Structure 1
Amino acid sequence: MIRRSCTSLLGCLFSPLLLADETALVLKQQIVSAPSVESTTVADMAQYGSKVEIVTREQIERAGPSADVSRVMQMFIPGLYVAPKNGPFDYGTYSLLGGRNDDTLILLDGVRLNNRLYGGLYLDTLPANAIERIEVLKGGQSLLFGTQAVSGVINIVTRSPQSREVSGEVNLGVDTFGGTTGDARAEKIFNNGFGDLGLLAYVSRNVSEGYQPFRNRDMKNVTDKKRSYEVSTFGGKAIQSFSDDSRLELFYQYADANLDFAGATNNHKTTNDRVQQIATATFEQSLSERLSYFIKGHINDWDTRYTRILNTEGGGTTVKNHNDYWGFTDWGIQAEGKALLPGDHVLVFGSDNQWFKGQDDVLIIDNNKAQAHALYTQLRPKIDALPDWHPSIGIRHEAMSGGDSATVGMLTSLYDLNDNWALRGQYGTAYKLPNAEQLFVNEPGDERGNRNLKPEKSRNAELGVDYKGNLFNRDFSASLTVFKRKITDLITLDGEQWVNGQGQIQMRGFEADARLALNDQWSLQADMTRNLTESRAGVTLNDIPSFFARSRVGYESVDRMWGAGSAIRYIRDVISSKKVEYGHYSVVDADAYRYLDNAHQHRVSLLVENLFDRDYVTSRSANVDNLGRPFTSEVRYTYRF
């Protein structure tokens, strides 16, 4: 992908990009010189009509000492509904622009985290201390990102080395539920004869007794009433530049987690002991000012040992599962190029190839291997007669072993009406390939796979208007997006058989967000989302709130030595898969920080979650309410060197 000449790696990582408040993204300069291709994908789409949000490192640090990725996203991504099942480091429910739980594609440095063998999102081993920023690209994005990018893409970007001096930080935190956290990071950039070499390493550990996720009246014969967790992670990144024309980036992360799996009936002790390893290697090169490319390989390996011990009516225990294994390996290679054509038209083209295998000692799957291969291209024309119009058009074809292939296209458009107003829109098709469970599961009396399943397809349209300027002589930005999605060939269970449903389901709604600087110290931001579902086949989409909203007020002292903020989120009705309604709650959080020295080396932070100790339901399982986190206060000390 073509970039202007750069003197720093981070200077090359981004072309102009809109933050959540729609101001230009400002990143700390990194000294490693080299072009970056792949890392600009999300940023580029913001210039052609897709809505982009960025969660910054500063926001991540405010999410609390034991923050995992779900907590960060819940607090700071406008329009994203997040409901962690039983608190930090647990499964969650996610919805972006009215999408279902797995309609949003989650990436870690461009590597797919969605499980293609069993479905679902697994973010419960990702610590927030390893993350530099979170990029959110909204709307149907299958063109560049493939299956499951139906309602959007969330790319979690890990930290990179940024200093020639040895630098880093240490964090220590505690919370009122017996939780302790500790993490550390160190980095340095060298010159080793080939060019600049940047090295970074991090480690973290999060331990907690957890809280009781069920009401007393719902628990029957339960010994382990709290859902505890113990998560240890270490990782590292190396970036080697070769002059200013190419670079090689290597990344590795190892996570070891012992996670309780809470149960409301007869539960003595249930655990998932999990090890996840993620590794990537990316080579990027600018062949000329008009042609550049990247090649990226990755592996995501997940191994879980599942143990379930139940209480019996007579007072004893019985072992239902003992270290039963389930896991998967996802590996692949992607190549993408970007060419600047005569007339300054831009052509993007690429190939994305993935292979999967898995094993489950509990769920019988006859065929536990799969592969998918895709080709895609996108043209971004420059029209001299309309210099304020920035369109794009593209097509993608993907084939998977088992099930049919899918072909999708997308049109996007950004039109700068003037210095303050911009009109954007996108229209296209997206798809979701069937996973291995849906194709090959073989559990007689429960569920059976269907090798003839077709990919789920959707037609997506988003139209938005953005404003950036002044209100009452204060900085003000606002955005409104309306969306509509029609889903056909819905993959669903008909009794015990997986099938493609008849008819179509329609999701429509709107999302609005705004940010206002009340003065140099005070700021106010808010967002709201309305979802409306219409089914023409009797099938409904579950666990999607009909309406939710958030607002936050923040204060920063004049000398930036301390700050504080408070936020409220409101969730209206949500319908579970059992057609039971839940939701209808408001939760208030507050946070504050104080630097202890003028050099900003020592800092104390405070997060208070669920300030008024509201009893609320995040999801339902087995007709029992899963409760959100009660009043929790967390304190963290940070030392930077």
Structure 2
Amino acid sequence: MIRRSFTPLIGYLFSPLLLADDNALILNPQIVSAPSVESTTVAAMAQYGSKVEVVSREQIERAGPAADVSRVMQMFIPGLYVAPKNGPFDYGTYSLLGGRNDDTLILLDGVRLNNRLYGGLYLDTLPANAIERIEVLKGGQSLLFGTQAVSGVINIVTRSAQTRTASGEVNLGVDTFGGTTGDARVEKIFNNGWGDLGLLAYVSRNASEGYQPFRNRDMKNVTDKRRSYEVTTFGTKAIQSIGDDSRLELFYQYADANLDFARPVASHKTTNDRVQQIATATFEQNINERLSYFVKGHINDWDTRYTRINNLDGGGTKVINHNDYWGFTDWGVQAEGKAELPGGHVLIVGSDNQWFKGQDDVLVIDDNKAQAHALYTQLRPQIDALPDWHPSIGVRHEAMSGGDSATVGMLTSLYDLNDNWAVRGQYGTAYKLPNAEQLFVNEDDEKGNRNLKPEKSRNAELGIDYKGLLAGRDFNASVTLFKRKITDLITLDGVQWVNGQGQIQMRGFEADAKLALNNQWSVQADMTRNLTESRAGVTINDIPSFFARSRIGFESENRLWGAGAAIRYIRDVISSKQVEYGHYSVVDADAYRYLDTAHQHRVSLLVENLFDRDYVTSRSNNVDNLGRPFTSEVRYTYRF
């Protein structure tokens, strides 16, 4: 029997993993002969009690021609709150299981994207066309992933070659804000003296004048009123099998982005001109049927030139910043081994080593280097007397330069009650290391603290899953209760970064369900309730107390066309200035039509904010940042 929770793991062993709107699982065997043995922790943890969600390639394509990662996640990940600041390719606010913006760890093919210079999430240069799927592992996961995996892990999996004949696709799109997008992909699997060689390359360009993110009454002496963007990306991946048991994977992506930084007062022009390069190399080997390992090296290099020109009240302009540099380089090496012991037990042992270097000419940071080194192990026992129980236990120790070390442990459990019902749970500790800004910043209004301790939390999640029939139709449902207690909270006390006194407790629940009304119609919904209890005057902000989404989808019998509509509701959100915002509902709609039975030609349509609702995604300096107004986007796709 294959349980529902096996779905993401199979995606690692079979490629591609396809989850259509009717939740049917289609497995196409991986063509590159040597199977991947790289860390399957995101997917494998679904077998041991962690909640895992997967966004498929089909869903990504429905996110629109100018889609970035934030929009895809906003549309399709149950229980994830996403509030893009000023539309596509911008910073955003994220919350998973009541977590803060940097409590979720973002990975690209297993490589950490969260930067140690500031600790935030920087997804504003990642195009959706390069992504095969997105895997979401919920709950505290510091055991296997380290710092910032407090409320969950999101692993963005890039596309790989899957055909032995040259194939690919070309996409062209436009939107009603003057936005244009174009992307192309080509791939082929060859055979050489070592084995199969899969090659893939992609390129994309997204550009838009953008929309006005502030109300007219809030804009004073502003010239550049729209937040525009230009993002050009090139990437390539090569997978070389070496015999039947080993393989080498190389990946490289280059992104060049010119991004407006919208400001409501005195802004003549403010831009981030950015280049990001990500490269990885992974060697994997099955030594025998019971022992496998991988070694992975990566580098993430980010270089930004920041320009800010202000309008003067009496006329004219003043240059505040001119191509001032801020950026970072993260690089690391990870090694992990997996042993299947006698009796069916599985032992995971790994080492994770990271080095960080950063510079900021705008925000002065005294010390621009840091490093962190971790050892971790996890045992997944097989208990013959309880064949339906799947537990795990593990521990991790991480030491860093410029701060204290952290040790965490984790227990997980999945119990199959029968073919339809399963109970899962996990309990453990997680941590978040102070970032370079918090340790070393040296500004008049912000001072770092070299004696900061890691922020620690105790996390518990308990859930129940059902997969079966409702009124004779396919039905899936899940409920998760979560609770988190945070101590040593890293926070600003006036101008000084400190570890706060007391503790903060976050608790709540998440529920989601999906029902196939018939072979053509389906409906799905999810909701999350967050409750925060703070002590010693410390608060957590910009997390909605409640949010929910619902989507209805239709597919024609011949699958030549389909349509869908979704509504998301956000209740109250409290800003860092203790101002309430939120309270909005937004409706989106999408449709597609194949022009031929071979599925080579396709036209897609996405309508965002169908009823042109005026809503606030965030607040800064007591000014509302507005969500994207009514926007219509159309895309043509040619596949060969």
Instruction: Tell me which interval the TM-score lies in, with the shorter structure as reference length.
Output: over 0.9
Q: Distance in 2 between matches of 1:553 and 1:601?
A: 26
Mapped to 1, the partners of 2:11 and 2:464 lie a distance apart of: 28
**Which shifted more, 40-49 or 374-383?**
40-49
State the partner residue of 2:603: 604
Amino acid at match of 1:572: R
Q: Distance in 2 between matches of 1:16 and 1:290?
A: 25
- 1:592, 1:20 → 2: CA distance? 14
- Contact 2:586–2:613 (Cα < 8 Å) also in 1: yes
Alignment CA distance shift 1:505-1:433 (3 Å) = same
- Give, in whole Å, the separation in 1 of the partners of 2:559 and 2:300: 41
CA distance in 2, matches of 1:459, 1:175: 45
Report the counterpart of residue 387 of structure 1 in structure 2. Answer: 387
- Per the TM alignment, residue 35 of structure 1 is displaced from its structure 2 partner at its CA by 2.5
Deviation at 1:30, TM superposition (A): 3.0
- Cα distance 1:536–1:16, how it changes in 2: closer, same or farther (>3 A)? farther
In 1, Cα distance between equivalents of 2:211 and 2:284 = 46
1:530 equivalent in alignment to 2:529: yes
Deviation at 1:25, TM superposition (A): 4.5
Q: Would the aligned equivalents of 2:180 and 2:206 in 1 still touch at CA under 8 Å?
A: yes
Shift of residue 119, structure 1, vs aligned partner: 1.4
**Equivalent in the alignment of 1:624:** 623
Conserved 8 A contact 1:17-1:43: no
Aligned equivalent of 1:584: 583
Q: Distance in 2 between matches of 1:334 and 1:407?
A: 18
Asked if the contact 1:94/1:101 (under 8 Å) is kept, the reply is: yes
What's the CA shift string for 1:151-208, capped at 9, x where partnerless?
0000000000000000000000000000000000000000011100000000000000
Distance 1:509 1:27 in 2: 35
Q: Equivalents in 1 of 2:515, 2:363: separation in Å?
A: 51
Q: Which residue of 2 aligns with 1:437?
A: 437
Residue matched to 1:364: 364
1:79 maps to 2:79: yes
Please give the secondary structure, in 1, of the residue aligned with 2:217.
Answer: helix
Deviates further, 10-19 or 452-461: 10-19
Per-residue deviation, 1:38: 2.3
Q: CA contact under 8 A between 2:479 and 2:512: conserved in structure 1?
A: yes
Contact 2:403 2:453 in 1 (8 A): yes
Contact 1:13 1:39 in 2 (8 A): no
- Match for residue 456 of structure 1? 455
Q: Which amino acid is the alignment partner of residue 220 of structure 1?
A: K
Kindly provide the CA deviation profile for residues 354-387 of structure 1, in whole angstroms up to 9, marking residues without a partner as x: 0000111111111100000000000000000000
The aligned counterpart of 2:402 is: 402
Which residue does 1:569 correspond to in 2?
568
**Contact 1:268 1:311 survives alignment (8 Å):** yes
Query: Displacement of 1:21 after TM fit?
Result: 8.5
The answer (yes or no) to whether the contact 2:21–2:553 under 8 Å persists in 1 is no
Counterpart of 1:615 in structure 2 is 614
In 2, Cα distance between equivalents of 1:376 and 1:595: 49
- Shift in alpha-carbon separation, 1:11–1:482, aligned structure 2, 3 A: closer
DSSP 3-state at the match of 1:26: strand
Contact 1:29–1:162 (CA<8 Å) still a contact in 2?
no
Following TM superposition, by how much is the alpha carbon of 1:23 offset from its aligned partner in structure 2, in angstroms? 5.8
Offset from partner CA, 1:548-580 (integer Å, 9 cap, x none): 000000000000000000000000000001111
Report if the CA contact (8 A) 2:16-2:132 is conserved: no
Q: Give the structure 2 partner of residue 347 of structure 1.
A: 347
Question: Matches of 1:51 and 1:537 in 2, distance apart?
Answer: 32
1-structure distance, mates of 2:480, 2:34: 36
Which residue is 2:3 aligned to? none
Q: What are the Cα deviations for residues 492-515 of structure 1, in whole angstroms up to 9, with x where unaligned? A: 011111110000000000000000
1:245 aligns with 245
Aligned equivalents of 1:539 and 1:25: distance in 2? 45
What residue number does 1:510 align with? 509
Match status 1:633 vs 2:632: yes
- Residue 6 of structure 1 corresponds to none
Residue 128 of structure 2 aligns with which residue?
Answer: 128
Q: Does the CA-based 8 Å contact 1:410-1:427 persist in structure 2?
A: yes
Within 5 A, what are the aligned runs for 1:109-128? Answer: 109-128=109-128
Contact 1:20 1:53 in 2 (8 A): no
Query: How far does residue 37 in structure 1 lie from its aligned partner after superposition?
Result: 2.0
| TM-score in terms of structure 1 length | 0.97
Structure 2 equivalent of residue 38 of structure 1? 38
Partner amino acid for 2:246? S
Is residue 561–residue 592 contact of structure 2 (8 Å, CA) maintained in 1? Answer: yes
Distance between the aligned counterparts of 1:93 and 1:106, measured in 2?
13
Q: Tell me how far apart the structure 1 counterparts of residues 364 and 256 of structure 2 sit (CA, whole Å).
A: 26
Which residue type is aligned with residue 398 of structure 1? Answer: E
CA separation of 1:596 and 1:341: change in aligned 2, threshold 3 A: same
Partner of 2:163: 163
CA distance in 2, matches of 1:612, 1:59: 23
> Is the CA contact (8 Å cut-off) linking 2:20 and 2:58 kept in structure 1?
no
- SS of the residue aligned with 1:148? coil
**Pair 1:572–1:622, CA change in 2 (3 A):** same
- Equivalent residue number for residue 199 of structure 1: 199
Displacement of 1:24 after TM fit?
7.3
Aligned to 1:474: 473
Which runs of 5 or more structure 1 residues have no equivalent in the other structure? 1-8
Question: Are 2:71 and 2:88, in contact at CA under 8 Å, matched by a contact in 1?
Answer: yes
Distance 1:592 1:27, change over 3 A: same
Query: 2:4 is matched with which residue?
Result: none
In structure 1, give the amino acid aligned to 2:550: S
> Aligned with 2:48: secondary structure?
coil
1:546-565 matches, cutoff 5 A: 546-565=545-564
What TM-score do you get using the length of structure 2 for normalisation? 0.97
DSSP 3-state at the match of 1:47: helix
- Number of corresponding residues: 632
Distance of 1:25 and 1:146 partners within structure 2? 31
Residues 21, 477 of structure 1: 8 Å contact kept:
no
Note the 1:63-78 alignment, pairs <5 A. Answer: 63-78=63-78
Report the equivalent of 2:175: 175
Q: Distance in 2 between matches of 1:389 and 1:89?
A: 43
Decide whether the 8 Å contact of 2:485 with 2:503 is kept in 1.
yes
Is 1:224–1:269's contact at 8 Å kept on the other side of the alignment?
A: yes
Q: 1:502 to 1:10 in 2, by over 3 A?
A: closer
Aligned-pair CA distance for 1:243: 1.3
1:43-442 equivalences under 5 Å are 43-442=43-442
Cα deviation, residue 407, structure 1: 0.2
State the 1:22 CA deviation.
11
Whole-angstrom CA distance in 2 between matches of 1:25 and 1:495: 53
Which amino acid in structure 2 is aligned with residue 501 of structure 1?
Answer: G
